[in-house]
Amino acid sequence: MEKIRLGFVPAHRYPYDEEWAVEMRRRSIDALSAVPGVEIIVPSVGLIHNGLVRDDLGARATIDLFAQRGVQGIIIGTMTFGDEIAAVAIAEALDVPVLVFGTKEGPFAADGCRRSDAFGGTLAITSGLYRRRIPYLFAGILLPEEPILAHAVHIFAQACAIVDAFYGARIGMVGLPPERFESSAFSESALIQRFRQRVVRIPESEVYAAADAWPQGDHRLIATLEELAREADYGACSRTAVAKMARLELVLQHYFQERELSAMAIACWSEIQERYGVCACSTLGRLTGRGMLAACEVDVLGALTMLTQYQASLEATVPHLVEWTIQHPQMDDVFLAWHCGNAPTALADGATPVTVREQAILSPLVGAEKAQGAAEFQLHPGPVTLSRLAEYDGDYKMLITSGEIIPSEDRLRGTWAWVRVNDLARLYRVLAEQGFTHHASMIHGDVADALEAFCRFTGIEAVRV
């Protein structure tokens, strides 16, 4: 993933100590530039006097610089008291997420005067942002080298990545949800109006026809079949079914790239089994594992939730869609995060074999021969974040919670993990009482703070449990 571009506004006000402001600017740039995964863009000393934003002229030059460089977020730091009009004007002009921090006071001057008064000036800036209803995060009053700033900038960069990908996202919608499955309902108008998103419809019949027509001797098909054999044990599947899975993967990959999609939501039962003859579960996992996020059951909001998690990780790890399935029979505060077989194999625990076989739930309905294609393995242990986007009457909210996958000796169907959370009864009550469905996106690692910050910047209600 490319580095997140963050514009730094070193705010200063005359006649506060110019030398101290220059020193704080230098130290701030050094500290911000050391944060992994970010590129700091700052007005140079050649662009504005001493590289400090202090007036309308400096604000206009900084706005032009940030616009030209396409910054994804703005960090406003008070080097001294700071000129709130100039600093706020930059945030107002660019309409990207904002992080504010203030610097601690330097030593008193020999005549007893103070050097910066940034403690007060920071409030002038934050109140100006608040007055204009510009959402922002506040990192604190600190010295640039303090770890709290680096941590805040990391969370901020994650949030900026999510916001940048979320607005204007293009979600591929392959097919329609099953007739008796209301859980995937969503408002396309609300997505357009709130987030400028587009739902790109792709007919199932078109996908299956393209897959059936894929040339048998095509080098991409041969390479995909070789990858499948290396990645998992397909011994329980017929050669015909495995070839169908490979062709389906290539067609969906083609649509993802050609239509410039951000994520996909795909119909996975039962028309695909009846008309094409396989399950799509493991195919969705393989696409997701390569960053082409694919949600099952035409869950558009689930696909968008996956997108937020993937960007929160700065594309370092992949999420997948799970169900809140059952409580653990013996252990408190442990539930089964499961789905039919759609997890990327990169998430496997390594201790149990990765197999692909007939899907457990659909086999009795369509026959085992047509239900081949579901991956089966246990997920690797460690911290995870679970979240879910929901919309009612045009208002959006996101459930955010954290847990930990614990290893198990169980042998279960599908792709699965036992997840321990802090208070399962409370979490489930929130799910039930606030209208969240049985689907959630789960990702390894702790990205809860970044998701909450994303919600703040987008006007989505964060429901953190």
pLDDT tens across 61-98, in order?
A: 999 999 999 999 999 999 999 999 999 999 999 999 99
What is the average per-residue pLDDT within 13-23?
96
Average pLDDT over residues 437-445: 99
Question: What b/e string do you get for 185-197 counting C-beta neighbours within 10 Å, with b at 16 or more?
Answer: ebbeebbeebbeb
Q: In the predicted model, what is the mean pLDDT of residues 397-414?
A: 98
Of the pLDDT bands very low, low, confident and very high (cuts 50, 70, 90), residue 111 is confident
Q: What average pLDDT does the structure give for the chain?
A: 98
* Residue 230, phi then psi, degrees to nearest 5: -75, -30
Model pLDDT, residue 110:
85
Runs of H (alpha helix) within 276-353: 281-289, 300-312
Which pLDDT belongs to residue 424?
99
Mean pLDDT of 358-379: 97
Q: Kindly indicate the confidence band of residue 112, based on its pLDDT and cuts at 50, 70 and 90.
A: confident
| Token representation of residue 335 | 């539930």
Task: Please report the pLDDT score of residue 27 as a whole number.
Answer: 99
Mean pLDDT value across residues 295-300: 98
Contact 407, 458 (CB under 8 A): no
DSSP state for residue 291 in the 8-state scheme:
T
Residue 399, pLDDT above cutoff 90: yes
| β partners of residue 420 | 334, 404
Strands 415-421 and 372-378: parallel
Calpha distance 84→134 (Å, rounded): 14
Q: How confident is the model at residue 337 (pLDDT cuts 50, 70, 90)?
A: very high
Segment 41-60 shows an average pLDDT of 98
Closest by alpha carbon to 420, among 402, 443, 398, 437?
Answer: 402
* Each residue's pLDDT tens digit, 133-155: 999 999 999 999 999 999 999 99
Alpha helices in 41-146 (DSSP H): 56-69, 84-94, 118-131
Does the pLDDT at position 179 exceed 90?
A: no
pLDDT tops 90 at residue 165? yes
Backbone dihedral region of 175: left (phi > 0), alpha (psi from -120 to 50 degrees) or beta?
left
User: Rounded mean pLDDT of 421-435?
Assistant: 99
| Domains of the chain, earliest start first | 4-166 (3.40.50.1070), 170-464 (3.40.275.10)
- From CA 233, how far away is CA 228, in angstroms rounded? 8
Query: 200-233 burial string, b = 16+ CB within 10 Å, else e?
Result: bebebeebbebbeebeeeeeebeebbeebeebbe
What amino acid occupies position 257? Q
409: amino acid identity, one letter: E
Determine the straight-line distance between the first and last CA of the chain, rounded to whole angstroms: 30
Rounded to a whole number of angstroms, the CA Rg of the chain reads: 25
pLDDT, position 88? 99
Check whether 157 has a pLDDT greater than 90. yes
pLDDT at 20: 97
For residue 105, what pLDDT is reported?
Answer: 93
Residue 380 and residue 347: Cα distance in Å, rounded?
6
Summarised one tens digit per residue, pLDDT across range 223-268 is: 999 999 999 999 999 999 999 999 999 999 999 999 999 999 999 9
Asked if residue 447 has pLDDT above 90, the reply is yes
Task: Give mean pLDDT, residues 274-286.
Answer: 98
For residues 283 and 290, what is the distance between their CA atoms, to the nearest angstrom? 11
Average of per-residue pLDDT across 107-134:
95
How much of the chain, in percent, has pLDDT values that exceed 70? 100
The 136-142 sheet, strands edge to edge? 38-41, 4-11, 73-78, 98-103, 136-142
pLDDT at 269: 95
| CA distance to 176, 196, 208, 243, per residue, from 192 (Å) | 19, 4, 29, 38
Q: What is the pLDDT of residue 423?
A: 99
pLDDT tens digits along 30-50: 999 999 999 999 999 999 999
Looking from the CA of 103 toward its CB, the CA atoms found within 13 Å total 31
pLDDT band at residue 199 under the 50/70/90 scheme: very high
pLDDT at 339 over 90: yes
Greatest alpha-carbon pair distance for the chain in Å reads 88
DSSP conformation class of 434: T
- Angle (nearest 5°) at CA 307 between 304 and 313: 150
Residue 109 pLDDT class (50, 70, 90 cuts): confident
- What is the spatial distance between Cα 430 and Cα 59, in angstroms, rounded to a whole number? 45
